[in-house]
């Protein structure tokens, strides 16, 4: 505008973008625009001088405005939860899986803890379905060695069938048929002269039972000769020993 003393110029609108720089640890500051409207500053020198005053005001106040008004954003750190598959058939043992929410998947403008909680809750929501789809179900087989059909008809001796039977329950009440299951057997005892101990080579078994030895001599004692033998089923792969 013109005045009696000369010319006066007022500033045009000026603006600058400022990023918040006072977020708590791990937070990323947002960016906001800080504006100085037209006609706030004047100059009797030039329009450029009036505009510069407005620019200086933007620079002087912009960072504080951003620190007060821009958001802080936190991204989650990696979160994981363990889940056990819960849809296995009866008699099967479920596996455990770990469901992971990678870092930087969820964001929060509240805090790092809140971002982590969002990720943890996401793992809680989706983890069981993931475990049911990706976990395994392993058939539990229990093996039990027993002496059956005792025979005392031999003079001074006791004989019996040595049998390993397979079950799907720890109480050994539900027989189960196995296919090519490798079992480990051993025996020890006293032959009347020497003590002995022997591990059988791995034996492949199929069906509900395996006959280790029919009518095995378990003991003999005629007053002069005393001998005995015990049989054992040892722990192996694919089955659990029940005593």
Percent of the chain exceeding pLDDT 90 equals 91
3-state SS class at 39: coil
Q: Where are the domains of the chain?
A: 2-70, 73-138, 142-241
Angle in degrees, CA 204, 187, 184, rounded to 5: 25
On the question of pLDDT at 217 being above 80, the answer is yes
Q: Which of 97, 149, 99 has the alpha carbon at shortest distance from 124?
A: 99
Using one digit for the tens of pLDDT, what is the confidence trace for 70-116? 999 999 999 999 999 999 988 788 999 999 999 999 999 999 999 99
Q: Which of 138, 142, 144, 139 has the alpha carbon at shortest distance from 170?
A: 142
Q: Which of 75, 9, 79, 78 has the alpha carbon at shortest distance from 39?
A: 9
CB–CB of 119/76 below 8 Å? Answer: yes
CA distance linking residue 173 with residue 157, whole number of Å: 31
- What mean pLDDT is reported for the chain? 95
Reported pTM:
0.64
3-state SS class at 69: helix
Using one digit for the tens of pLDDT, what is the confidence trace for 128-147? 999 999 999 988 899 999 99
pLDDT for 3? 46
CA distance linking residue 35 with residue 12, whole number of Å: 11
- What is the assigned CATH class of domain 142-241? mainly beta
């Amino acid at each position: 505008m013109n005045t009696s003393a000369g010319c006066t110029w007022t500033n045009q609108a000026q603006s600058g973008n400022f990023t918040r720089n006072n977020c708590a640890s791990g937070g990323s500051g947002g960016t906001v625009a800080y504006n100085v409207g037209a006609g706030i500053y004047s100059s009797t020198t030039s329009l450029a001088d009036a505009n510069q005053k407005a620019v200086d005001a933007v620079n002087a106040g912009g960072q504080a405005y951003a620190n007060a008004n821009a958001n802080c954003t936190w991204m989650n750190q990696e979160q994981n939860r363990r889940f056990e598959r819960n849809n296995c058939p009866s008699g099967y043992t479920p596996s455990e899986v770990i469901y992971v929410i990678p870092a930087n998947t969820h964001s929060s403008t509240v805090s790092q803890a809140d971002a982590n909680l969002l990720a943890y809750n996401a793992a809680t929501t989706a983890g069981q379905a993931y475990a049911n789809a990706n976990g395994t179900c392993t058939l539990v087989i229990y093996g039990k060695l027993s002496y059956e059909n005792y025979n005392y008809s031999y003079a001074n001796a006791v004989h019996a069938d040595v049998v390993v039977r397979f079950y799907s329950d720890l109480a050994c009440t539900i027989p189960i048929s196995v296919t090519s299951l490798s079992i480990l057997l051993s025996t020890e005892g006293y032959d009347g002269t020497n003590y002995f101990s022997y591990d059988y080579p791995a034996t492949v078994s199929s069906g509900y039972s395996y006959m280790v030895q029919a009518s095995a001599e378990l003991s003999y004692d005629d007053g002069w000769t005393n001998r005995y033998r015990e049989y054992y089923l040892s722990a192996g792969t694919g089955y659990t020993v029940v005593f």
